[in-house]
Structures are given as structure tokens and as C-alpha cells.
Amino acid sequence: MMRDARDGSDRDGLDRSRLGLALDAAGLGEFEWDLGRRVFVVSERMAAITGMAPGELLVDDNDPLATYVHPDDRAITRARRREALKSGDVFDVTFRMVPTPGAPQRWLRMAGIVSRSESGRPSAITGIVEDISKTRLEDDQRQALMVELDHRVKNVLAAVQALAVQTAKRTTSLDAFLTTFSGRLKAMASANELLTAARWRGAAIDHLAAAELGAIAPGQTSWEGPELFLTPRAANALSLALHELATNAVKFGALSVETGHVHVRWTARPAGGFELTWTESGGPTVQPPTRHGFGSTLLEQVTGRELNGDAAVEYPPAGVLVRLRAGAQAMADRPDVVPDVPGQRVTETVATSVGPASLRGARVLIVEDAVLLALELETGLSEAGAEVIGPAYELEEAMALLDRPIDAAVLDANLNGRSVTPVAEVLSQRNIPFVFATGYGETGGAPGGFEAPVIRKPYDVTQVAAAVAELLSKI
């Protein structure tokens, strides 16, 4: 019997040791509150978490934590405890501790089980304490990010609405509106992609220039200047300005002929800010415009104000000359994360003299999880003469359609949170060309590292059709 008693004592000690290791691993501290004796027992682990003295604490006012709980949280803490003692078995509450000068706010979670006598009266509470300050900080940061995201989305939607209204007022046909508005929308998307890659800390001028000019008339555009970063507001403004200038250059200026050239150069201003010069040469003889459209308004008014500077447009016969000056408020510090210089775009964002692409007889698979976009693609590719396969909205749908005869495919990179890679791999193995039409920006190239063209959302369906037609012409 003596041996059995000792063995039991040894097992109890082993169990307590294992419990202690588990509490240490979980970062928890334990306590016991003897309601009859009015004694609150603080363990060493709880003392380390809360700063309370370890050992037995006499409780005269039925609130052993009164001096440790933040004044604003004392009422809820007491109410939860009263509820548990009155009719419950579990006591669980989250509260802030009294702040320490110069130290971050600390949050604790206290949870315990109520023990009761045979008569049902509460006799003790045994439980644990956990420091959840890090989790609460992450939750607060996440909430702040959601609020900021909501603010930015509303600003973007308001800007898009304004662009649509102003563009509509100054165009005479639906086709002209769609072409102009789509180009301006894509300019905003390009700036947004760069800002997202830099966690909305800023965008470099050379990245904006590369995004707007990189695929327009290859070999006819160049840009140079020091590494300067703009605030999100200034980056959007400059992106739109470069887009408007490029659009005009392609339609009427230096980029409307093969001999023309556009050179962009920027320098830092001594008092802060920058000065950017857009110079056209080798194009048709320039004459001042007889009317001012919304593009001119963007350059002369919006861009100047958004950049806290000014804009000046000159029309010498040799080529359009534009000077944009920005104030110090437009500048941002170099972000911690700087994306690579964007690669060339797959398709141009401005109207050209080339007619609509023909996909007559081509069997084109559409994989897109956004129903409205899928319908738009289906309509646009069908009008170009294609036989549409799908659309497939889910990965499984797309995989099931791969057994059908397919000449080319248009793939979204992400299907309701799942990668389209399995579809792309099968197409690649079968030497079936495909293009990515996606909102996911990867400045290093196509998603998944595939050798495939990429068209960034938002896009014009004619761009997608042109990209597919170009792929099929190489087979």
C-alpha cells in the first residue's frame, strides 16, 4: 500500500510537471480563486504575465484585479464574473491592463471554470491568463487597413465615375468613348499596380514611364532621370498625364509615323519636387489645336494641381513640348519594397490604325471566374469570329473542357482563390497557346513563370482578341 501511495504521488507530480510545460509552451499563467477564504493564488507564470506578486493575495473587495484592469474595462470584467458565478460554469473575459507610461497597451484574456459546493454555491474559480496584446494589435491593424482600403476604393470609384462623365461629355460616339475611357482606366490601373507592389508607399517615376511608354511604338520612346518616388496621389496624376500625352502622340504627333520619337526626361528640383519634360520630334509638323478636350484639361489643370505644381504645353512646329513641374508635397520616401521595372505591355493602350482582330474559326477557351467579365469576353471574341469554349468559372470546369478541341485560351490567373496553373500546364504540354487576362500584377512576367502574354485588368476586349490573334498567327 505504501508503494502504491508513493507511485500515486509520483504520478501527480509528473502530471503537474507536464501541465507546467504545456502552460509554458502556450504562454499561459494559471490562477486559483478560493471564494470562501477570499484568497486569490497567483502562480509564477501569471505573475510574469501580469506583473502581480506571486503567491496568495487576500481579496477584501471581491475584485483581486481591480488595480490592474483598465478603468474603462472594469465594469465589463466584473459583470462577466458575476454572470459566471450566478448561473454559469465558465468565466471568460478580455480586458486591457492599466497602461504603463511609455509602454504599449497590453491586453489580457482570463478564462476559468467555476467550482460549486453540493448546494450549488460557487466555491472557487480555477483558470488561466493569456497575454493577447500581439493578437489585438494585429486585429487593430487589420481593421485600420480595412478602413483605409474602403476609403481608397471609394476614392477610386469616384475618380472612375468622374473620368467616365468627363470623357462622355467630350466624345461624339460610343466607340470613341469606350476607346478613350478604357485607356484612361488602364492608366489608373497601371499606377495602382505599382503602388500595390510597393505597399502604397509610393511609385517611381521611371516605373510609371515604363508602364505607360514601354509597349507604345517600341524603339520610338525613351526616358531618363534619377530615382524619384511619388506619393500615391501624385503617381496617379502623372500616370494619367503620360497616358494622355502618349495617346495624342499616337493619334496626331510623333508616334503617328515611324520616324517620330518621344523622349521623357525628369530632374529633381532644388527646393523639392521634380520637373519633367516631354519632347516629341521627327513627326508631322505641329499646329496648335483649335479646341481643348478633357485631355488638355487633365494636363493643364488637374495634373498641375495634383502634383502641387504646374503644367505647360507648347506647340512648336518640330514637335509638342510639355513641361510638368511638381512640388515637394508630391514626393515620397523610397519604399521598403520596390518592385522591379515593369516589363513591356502585351497590347497597346491607345487606339491605332490597325483594324479589329479576326479570330474566324478559332476555338478559344475562356477561363474567368467573374461572370460579367466572362460574358464580355465571350461576346467580344465571338464578334471577332471565334468559337468560344466555355466560359469556365471554376478550376474543375476548366479541366473538364480540356478534352475538347482548343486552338487558344484566355486564362484568369486566379479562380475563386485557386491558381489556374493546372490548366496552363496542360495547355503548355499540348502546345496550345494562351494569354493571361488578369488583375494579378507580377512585374517579373507571366503568372507561374509561363511564356505567355499578359493583359492586365481592366482591359478592352479588343486587346484580348488582338493578343489571341497574334498568338495564332505564330503557329
User: Domains in the chain, ordered, with CATH?
Assistant: 25-131 (3.30.450.20), 140-332 (3.30.565.10), 363-473 (3.40.50.2300)
Is 346's pLDDT higher than 50? no
What is the pLDDT at residue 228? 93
Of all residues in the chain, the percent with pLDDT exceeding 70 is 79
What residues form DSSP beta bridges with 278? 264, 322
What residues form DSSP beta bridges with 112? 91, 127
What is the pLDDT at residue 338? 66
Whole-angstrom Cα distance, residue 386 to residue 295?
A: 35
| pLDDT one-digit tens code per residue, 161-219 | 656 766 676 677 887 777 767 766 766 666 667 666 656 677 889 888 887 887 676 67
Report pTM. 0.52
* CA-to-CA separations, 164 to 5, 13, 15, 266, 446, in angstroms, rounded: 85, 75, 71, 30, 30
pLDDT band at 348 (very low <50, low <70, confident <90, very high): very low
What is the pLDDT at residue 337? 65
Is 263's pLDDT higher than 80? yes
Which segments of 27-132 does DSSP mark as H helices, in order?
Answer: 44-50, 74-87
What is the pLDDT at residue 41? 92
| pLDDT one-digit tens code per residue, 317-329 | 999 999 999 999 9
Quickly count: other Cβ atoms within 10 Å of residue 165's Cβ.
10
pLDDT band at 246 (very low <50, low <70, confident <90, very high): confident
DSSP 242: H
Is 405's pLDDT higher than 90? yes
What is the pLDDT at residue 68? 86
What is the pLDDT at residue 7? 53
Is 419's pLDDT higher than 80? yes
Whole-angstrom Cα distance, residue 66 to residue 18?
A: 32
Q: 439-472 burial by CB neighbour count: b if 16+ within 10 A, else e?
A: bebbeeebbbebebbbbbbebbbbbbbbbbbebb
pLDDT band at 3 (very low <50, low <70, confident <90, very high): very low
Is 296's pLDDT higher than 90? no
| pLDDT one-digit tens code per residue, 82-135 | 888 887 788 888 999 888 888 888 899 999 999 998 888 889 889 999 999 988
Of all residues in the chain, the percent with pLDDT exceeding 90 is 32
